[in-house]
Chain A
């Protein structure tokens, strides 16, 4: 069977037991969109992307005939790209001058996933830099002399946690951080991203994560928060940035992860969320889209992909659904996602991207690798399984689906901070 692309009307039926996950041919049939004679802007865009992907997949299969270690994650080139970016950024990065702690985190996390150790000088330099971003009023800004903002605060805390040293942890002023979080809180329990800033579920996620990691949670901080998050679930099953808005992968991740940290994950409509999440995987490309009827994007490999370990955890705790779970598989096609990332989302000079034709960047590299890690490793409560598409060297370190940090880094930080008094 050399043809893997199938138009909707001429399918070959394969018995279940014989669908094996090898890299000789693609793991699953790919099905083109059926435009049904009714083209619109949405379908035009989708058809264009499918055509590009089809070409890449065909080329890949031809190359694979000759070299069966494909697809390969270009580790060395990615490391060079990311390591350089941890140090210096071109002038075109002026647009991210208010997000430098993010760039720090994206690159440190990528190195963490690739299991590249950091030199002590690098760690010291990062710690000094992040310290400059911390404000006396608590929290971190996107760079020195910038007001505190929950997103760069999340990024800074995460970056320090990756460094896994007491020296790094001690930088965080927990008392001030608590005060900053309280200043961002509104009456309902939702969080503005900064004082005088916009309120949406990202703010809530960032606040809950940094508070949990640094051990500063008390009764007041998240009172009403989970109720507010639940209001963001839409009729489609995913979550929006604010109540009534459209269900979106990034916000859904923030919502479910925050709810899980708050212990309230079972209060949402699980079946609806599960259906929505599963439907976000593209049946041709194999990657995930962010919203219904929109295009695939490599970064959603994490935002949508990480929902599955969280859903697995949720379902495993329920009497109703736990028996039906497969302990060795997430409820999405792990191999197809890996194929999309490895075959379609790698830049020739290293780094990952949204989709073919887009430029590489550190954000897509971080979240592409994070999604790859999730797709490679299933950790059920009882057992688990690793499934690597392509070369065994493609295997990445495990990432924690709530924080998107290495699991050992998370444990280490939680141990340290939870042995600290609540506030200094």
Chain B
């Protein structure tokens, strides 16, 4: 069974050992490499996390180590890094050395962008490939393929963290926000529960218009409509709270939010996110108006008991904590 770690580079299981390729020649058998003394790993008699490397892997990295030690900047060194990366695209030393060679040989950036693109396609959750891409775009100053590339990767996995991160960097660095809200809305149409898309929406608003009164109204309308359709969608509720954090009136007092609460009350909604929101509304009211505490505190307690025992019992400790907290703050 193939054991794969997901720490830095969750590679998929299509990594294969292709020692069986008929045309493959080991570096140790290549005459154009016989000036190089390969550097083998000698780690002592007691193996520690010793990997059973294939011959091909050992051969390539023996030569890679030799090249790095002599700091050779050459076309053959460059090719060697390609071979090494095919075997382990998570080897950051190889990527870093490759960048040194790229610079030293003044190699064509567009070709390199194509190269890293093919690796991204096979290893979309690898840190090193995305970082390499970013460095290339920094060098070339040309972001023209980046939105398309991230869009393609996101079409396969709409929540790929690296793809979103790269996309945000491109948008911000090159000020390419023009069509991003459209893009986000399409993704939300595809999957209203896509939290990465909601997060991106917040980012676009923040970096473009900012949270003006008009924009707040627009965003609240959008979010409230979404909640009315899928009430148990935490992404929408988190976004709602995020927008309201820019609202001077807080959770209470905005007509769009008041209407949502009336709607949910009328429809006897039992969504835990709604009840949790109600408690926070009550807390805010009790904070700003001491006269309301006597009435609201028992109500808040009632909702919290309901959450703890019936609506959302897995979070019982949290609901009970909030109850104790509110009582300590607002009880007489």
Show the binding face of A for B, using Cβ within 8 Å.
8-9, 11, 13-16, 19, 28-31, 33-34, 36, 38, 40-43, 85-100, 102-104, 107, 121-122, 124-126, 128-129, 132, 141-147, 149, 151, 193-198, 234-237, 241-242, 244-248, 274-276, 278-279, 281-283, 286, 291-294, 299, 320-321, 323-326, 329-333, 336, 354, 359-364
Q: Contacts of B68 on A, CB cut-off 8 Å?
A: 145
Q: Provided the pairs A149-B92, A291-B159, A323-B324 are in contact, do residues A88 and B6 lie with their beta carbons within 8 angstroms?
A: no
Let me know if A94 and B5 touch, CB within 8 A. Answer: no
Tally the A-B contacts, defined by beta carbons under 8 Å.
284
Q: Is the interface of A mostly helix, strand, loop or mixed?
A: loop
Q: In angstroms, how far is the closest chain A Cβ from the Cβ of B186?
A: 13
Let me know if B88 and A320 touch, CB within 8 A. Answer: no
Q: Contacts of A331 on B, CB cut-off 8 Å?
A: 317-318, 321
Q: Contacts of A364 on B, CB cut-off 8 Å?
A: 5-6
Please, how many angstroms separate the alpha-carbon atoms of A133 and B203 in the complex?
Answer: 40
Q: Provided the pairs A87-B50, A126-B48, A128-B44 are in contact, do residues A362 and B4 lie with their beta carbons within 8 angstroms?
A: no
Additional 18 contacts, C-beta under 8 A, given A144-B41, A248-B161? A11-B310, A29-B313, A40-B193, A41-B194, A85-B49, A98-B91, A103-B5, A107-B49, A128-B44, A146-B91, A151-B8, A198-B130, A235-B238, A236-B238, A283-B313, A283-B315, A361-B3, A361-B5
Let me know if A86 and B49 touch, CB within 8 A. Answer: yes
Q: Contacts of B90 on A, CB cut-off 8 Å?
A: 95-99
Q: Contacts of B47 on A, CB cut-off 8 Å?
A: 87-88, 125
Q: Contacts of A151 on B, CB cut-off 8 Å?
A: 8
Contact of A293 among B5, B231, B234 (CB under 8 A): B234
Let me know if B53 and A94 touch, CB within 8 A. Answer: yes
Closest residue of A by beta carbon distance from B206: A244
Let me know if B131 and A246 touch, CB within 8 A. Answer: no
Interface residues on B, range: 35 or more
Q: Contacts of B229 on A, CB cut-off 8 Å?
A: 36, 38
Interface-located stretch among B9-17, B108-116, B141-149, B251-259: B9-17
Q: In angstroms, how far is the closest chain B Cβ from the Cβ of A117?
A: 17
Q: Tell me, yes or no, whether B230 is within 8 Å of chain A by CB.
A: yes
Q: Tell me, yes or no, whether B24 is within 8 Å of chain A by CB.
A: no
Q: Contacts of A354 on B, CB cut-off 8 Å?
A: 6
Q: In angstroms, how far is the closest chain B Cβ from the Cβ of A345?
A: 14
Q: Provided the pairs A16-B308, A279-B234, A363-B6 are in contact, do residues A333 and B315 lie with their beta carbons within 8 angstroms?
A: yes
Let me know if B328 and A14 touch, CB within 8 A. Answer: no
Please, how many angstroms separate the alpha-carbon atoms of A325 and B320 in the complex?
Answer: 9
Nearest 10 pairs of A and B residues by beta carbon: A235-B242, A42-B193, A125-B46, A129-B48, A324-B325, A324-B324, A363-B5, A292-B195, A40-B191, A246-B199
Closest residue of B by beta carbon distance from A329: B317
Let me know if A333 and B194 touch, CB within 8 A. Answer: no
Let me know if B43 and A333 touch, CB within 8 A. Answer: no
Let me know if A98 and B49 touch, CB within 8 A. Answer: no
